[in-house]
Amino acid sequence: MSGLIDYQALPGWVPGRVLLSSDGLGWKNVNTRAYRYAGQEAVVPAMRDYMLVGYRGGVTPMQRRFDGKWRRETLCPGAASLLTRAQQASWSWGAQIDVVHVYLSAGLVAEVAGEMLDCDGAEVVLNDVLRTDDPVMTHALDTIAGEAQSRGMGGALYVDAVSRGLIVHLLRRYASVRLPEPRAAGGLSATQERRIRGYIEDNLARPMELKEMAALLGMAPCRFSRAFRKSFGRPPYAHVTARRLEAAKRLLARSALPIKAVAADCGFSDQAHLTRMFSAAFGETPAVFRRRAQ
């Protein structure tokens, strides 16, 4: 689809003071900016990405029109908006507000939908929502913006993980999905299984993308995801996470490496990321597991 604007062009239509930006941080398929906006009226052309807005400061009545109908809400800290992509929208508000934007590429949303729904070619439309009071969404927006501010080690990997979880939430709550006609699909061959298994084990310490793993076997990402799930019983992303956690368990039990080094060696963005994932999977922190195992 042509004529869609990039998020970096947005200030040309909605002028505001940039408070924070992820530009230049090397993130893929996800970006964030925070703005301070004076009250104004604006027409935003159709955007290439999905845009989520979290409201951080100020209270204002807001009007938005994107399908011929004006919607009106009062927006304040804790509220959020979701804009569907590829659709022009008109905005009007009267007071100064501080907001954080998170931009999700259509490709990433489609990739997560393909993995989540185990289908190739599903048509996904995220609904346009002027106001939602959704703590899952607002927490994810704040977390992504926080990474742009802290610029911590492994930030791109961490943002990718948070964004994928956020997209799953959006697909569950705000999406319309049309599935293609079902068709027979087999799993990976034994040779393909051995190859991808070895590749994953050899690369646990670094980010791995679905398209990269699919290319290793000469497959399209959606077809690879479907075949992988049939062979391994879970999506590629979940399998890679599980293998990283098992690798972390081995290192915690058999080595004296600091926990933050274990996290880095196993592909987690930092010690806190490992602790969250480890606790969710095994019901105890890495430190408690190490004391019990050694």
Q: How many C-beta atoms lie closer than 10 Å to residue 267's C-beta? A: 23
Q: Which residue reads 């607002």 in tokens?
A: 138
Residues 208 and 263 in one domain: yes
Contact 101, 23 (CB under 8 A): no
* Among candidate residues 153, 178, 203, the one where a domain is terminated: 178
Q: Is residue 77 part of a domain?
A: yes
Q: Is residue 183 part of a domain?
A: no
The pLDDT score that the predictor gives to residue 79 is: 97
Contact 224, 217 (CB under 8 A): yes
Q: Is residue 2 part of a domain?
A: no
The pLDDT score that the predictor gives to residue 107 is: 84
Residues 42 and 135 in one domain: yes
Contact 176, 117 (CB under 8 A): no
Strand pairing category for 30-37 and 17-21: antiparallel
- Look up the domain containing 225 and give its range: 190-293
Give pTM, 2 decimals: 0.67
Residues 13 and 114 in one domain: yes
Q: Is residue 1 part of a domain?
A: no
Tell which residue, 73, 87, 70, has the closest CA to residue 1.
Answer: 87
**Interatomic CA distance for residues 153 and 264, integer angstroms:** 9
* Among candidate residues 128, 150, 178, the one where a domain is terminated: 178
Residues 112 and 203 in one domain: no
Q: Which residue reads 């346009």 in tokens?
A: 128
Pull the structure tokens for residue 95.
């007071």
Q: Is residue 184 part of a domain?
A: no
Residues 170 and 226 in one domain: no
Count of domains observed in the chain? 2
Residues 148 and 210 in one domain: no
Residues 91 and 203 in one domain: no
Residues 47 and 158 in one domain: yes
Q: Is residue 185 part of a domain?
A: no
Q: Is residue 25 part of a domain?
A: yes
pLDDT 10s digit of each residue in the chain, 294 long? 447 999 999 999 999 999 999 999 999 999 999 999 999 999 999 999 999 999 999 999 999 998 788 999 999 999 999 998 888 999 999 999 999 999 999 888 888 887 777 665 567 788 899 999 999 999 999 999 999 999 988 899 999 999 999 999 999 999 887 665 555 568 898 889 999 999 999 999 998 888 889 889 888 888 888 899 999 999 999 999 999 999 999 999 999 999 999 999 999 999 999 999 999 999 999 999 999 988
Q: Report the CATH number that the domain containing residue 50 is assigned in CATH.
A: 2.60.120.280
Residues 153 and 201 in one domain: no
* Among candidate residues 123, 152, 178, the one where a domain is terminated: 178
Q: Is residue 134 part of a domain?
A: yes
Pull the structure tokens for residue 31.
């970006």
Residues 154 and 56 in one domain: yes
Q: Report the CATH number that the domain containing residue 194 is assigned in CATH.
A: 1.10.10.60
Residues 54 and 142 in one domain: yes
**Interatomic CA distance for residues 44 and 237, integer angstroms:** 35
Residues 92 and 173 in one domain: yes
- E-state strands within the chain: 17-21, 30-37, 40-44, 50-57, 60-65, 70-75, 80-83, 89-93, 97-104, 123-126, 129-132, 175-178
